[in-house]
């Protein structure tokens, strides 16, 4: 879209985003309650409905994570990545703050006995210890959660992951890292002054404005005293198709694999 035309989107964006509940957890529960369809051609912005993106992480997952430990998918949403992870670890455990997301994840998991889902606010003090007491040392997978949290909650989440990984586990995180402004972002995802695609409209009208998460944001959340970075770099996140039917949108992302120090 020509650079000035995107500003015509502003009135719709302001109107839609004025509906977002102030409490983030309430917003997430409301959002999941409005989702009618997941997977390809569905409503969930970050769901391309295939395993292409997961397959691109597999080599890094396999060289950095201990395959004998359980994996916890933090902020699992409707559990599509939890189910993919289950093929590579003895147990896969999806946790999410929104009961509606967890209910949906359970409904969609009809055939994998090693997969479980639970409602949990992973930023609350003690959440990591609680899971560690039950599961022991775990690998942690996080996709698209840090960038939707405020800076204080990012620190709280990272602090909870330390007891959860224990000595043997690792954190594998993948986050959106689009560095332009919000109008550039939504224009790139197919919004025009005439039409905003449904997955984007549901997100703008239901969710807190997302941030971005790259090396600097990772360093602010995972301090050097507690964590060491084993790998990091750029990745591509596949999202719902909104500009061309059948072709997932591609969003610039950042991945990092972290190990506890000491
Ligand atoms: C962008 S979605 C990503 C979902 C999933 N990881 C995926 O990639 O399909 C972010 C998810 O984080 C969850 N979430 C947000 N804050 C959370 C918190 N404090 N604790 C646990 N989950 C949270 C939301 O409910 C939502 O399902």
Query: Number of structural domains, the chain?
Result: 1
Beta-bridge partners for 257 = 172, 231
Q: The domain spanning residue 68 has which CATH number? A: 3.40.50.150
Nearest CA to ligand 1 atom 4: 77
Within-domain flag for 114: yes
Question: What number of other Cβ atoms are within 10 A of residue 223's Cβ?
Answer: 12
Within-domain flag for 152: yes
How confident is the model at residue 110, as a pLDDT?
82
Among candidate residues 208, 258, 254, the one with its CA nearest the CA of residue 230: 258
How confident is the model at residue 33, as a pLDDT?
97
Give yes or no for residue 123 CB within 6 A of ligand 1.
yes
3-state secondary structure of 95: strand
Give yes or no for residue 98 CB within 6 A of ligand 1.
yes
Give yes or no for residue 100 CB within 6 A of ligand 1.
no
Within-domain flag for 33: no
How confident is the model at residue 254, as a pLDDT?
98
Phi and psi for 113 in degrees, rounded to 5? -70, -20
Nearest CA to ligand 1 atom 17: 97
Q: pLDDT tens string for the chain (262 positions)?
A: 557 778 888 989 999 999 899 999 999 999 999 999 999 999 999 999 999 999 999 999 999 999 999 999 999 999 999 999 999 999 999 999 999 999 999 999 888 899 999 999 999 999 999 999 999 999 999 999 999 999 999 999 999 999 999 999 999 999 999 988 889 999 999 999 889 999 999 999 999 999 999 999 999 999 999 999 999 999 999 999 999 999 999 999 999 999 999 7
Within-domain flag for 38: no
Mutate to test the pocket of ligand 1, among 57, 97, 158, 251 (most ligand atoms within 8 A of CB): 97
DSSP result, 136-202: -S-EEEEES-GGGS-HHHHHHHHHHHHHHHTTT--EEEEEE---S-HHHHHHHTT--SS---HHHHH
Within-domain flag for 67: yes
How confident is the model at residue 6, as a pLDDT?
82
Atom of ligand 1 nearest to the CA of 28: 25
Distance, CA 196 to ligand 1 centroid (Å)? 23
Within-domain flag for 141: yes
Give yes or no for residue 77 CB within 6 A of ligand 1.
yes
Within-domain flag for 9: no
Distance, CA 187 to ligand 1 centroid (Å)? 23
Greatest Cα pair distance in the chain: 55
Within-domain flag for 197: no
Domain that includes residue 154, residue range: 49-188+212-260
How confident is the model at residue 199, as a pLDDT?
97
């Amino acid at each position: 879209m020509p650079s000035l035309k995107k500003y015509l989107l502003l009135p719709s964006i302001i109107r839609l985003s004025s509906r977002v509940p102030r409490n983030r957890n309430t917003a997430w529960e409301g959002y999941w309650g409005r989702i009618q369809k997941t997977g390809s051609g569905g409503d969930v912005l970050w769901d391309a409905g295939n395993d292409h993106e997961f397959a691109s992480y597999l080599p890094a997952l396999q060289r950095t994570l201990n395959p004998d430990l359980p994996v916890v998918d933090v902020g699992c949403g409707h559990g599509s990545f939890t189910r993919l992870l289950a093929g590579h670890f003895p147990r896969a455990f999806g946790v999410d703050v929104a009961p509606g997301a967890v209910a949906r994840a359970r409904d969609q998991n009809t055939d994998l006995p090693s997969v479980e889902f639970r409602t949990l606010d992973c930023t609350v003090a003690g959440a990591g210890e609680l899971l560690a007491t039950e599961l022991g040392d775990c690998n942690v997978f996080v996709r698209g959660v840090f960038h939707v949290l405020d800076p204080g909650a990012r620190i709280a989440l990272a602090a909870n992951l330390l007891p959860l990984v224990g000595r043997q586990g690792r954190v594998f995180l993948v986050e959106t890292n689009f560095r332009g402004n919000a109008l550039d972002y939504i224009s790139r995802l197919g919004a025009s002054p005439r039409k905003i695609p449904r997955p984007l409209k549901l997100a703008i009208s239901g969710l807190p404005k997302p941030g971005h998460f790259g090396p600097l944001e990772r360093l602010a959340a995972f301090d050097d005293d507690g964590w060491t970075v084993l790998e990091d770099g750029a990745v591509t996140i596949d999202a719902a198709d909104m500009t061309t039917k059948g072709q997932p949108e591609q969003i610039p992302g950042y991945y990092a694999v972290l190990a506890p120090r000491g």
